[in-house]
Amino acid sequence: MQTSIKKSGSNAYVLTLGEIEIALDHQTLKKILMEATKILLSRENTGAEDEARELATMIKANDDIVVQKFILAAEYEDILILLKSVEDDEAFNEKIYGNMSKKARTLLTEDVEFKYAELLSKAEIKDAVGRLKLVLKKLKA
């Protein structure tokens, strides 16, 4: 089957799948590409993403005071990596973003979107999760 993607305007694209043409905007095309990339690379990152999801679950189980201390104690880059790794976990996002100021939330959201537009490597995720687990462990001690 012949497939192609062509730009048809300033924020418009046409995805062709055989005889079918689908009009897409920039955001929709980006979502499709990210999902396809995640599927294709899922074998490489599965273990690291599982560890990130486990950590997110541990963080969600804490009260707001612990989460606020965690945000302050953790390295900014590590939090970005964790947020990107579990970006589809709405409850985790609400827990983290809900314990930040509006300004901090805006900065973090933009950094996650732009700094980590590409998929993260397994090593990046594992390293960040390891450091974040230590921070959480110290806070609970």
pLDDT tens digits along 8-33: 999 999 999 999 999 999 999 999 98
> What are the tens digits of pLDDT across the range 33-55?
888 877 766 555 458 889 999 99
Is this prediction's pTM over 0.85?
no
Q: Map out the domains of the chain with their CATH numbers.
A: 43-140 (1.10.220.30)
Could you tell me which of 132, 122, 123, 44 has the C-alpha nearest to residue 96? 132
Contact 56, 92 (CB under 8 A): yes
Q: How confident is the model at residue 69 (pLDDT cuts 50, 70, 90)?
A: very high
Question: For the ranges 36-40, 59-63, 91-95, which has the lowest average pLDDT?
Answer: 36-40
**What is the DSSP track for the chain?**
--EEEEEEETTEEEEEETTEEEEEEHHHHHHHHHHHHHHHHHHHHHHHHHHHHHHHHHHHTS-HHHHHHHHHHS-HHHHHHHHHHTTT-HHHHHHHHTTS-HHHHHHHHHHHHHHT-SPPPHHHHHHHHHHHHHHHHHHH-
> What are the tens digits of pLDDT across the range 99-116?
999 999 999 999 988 887
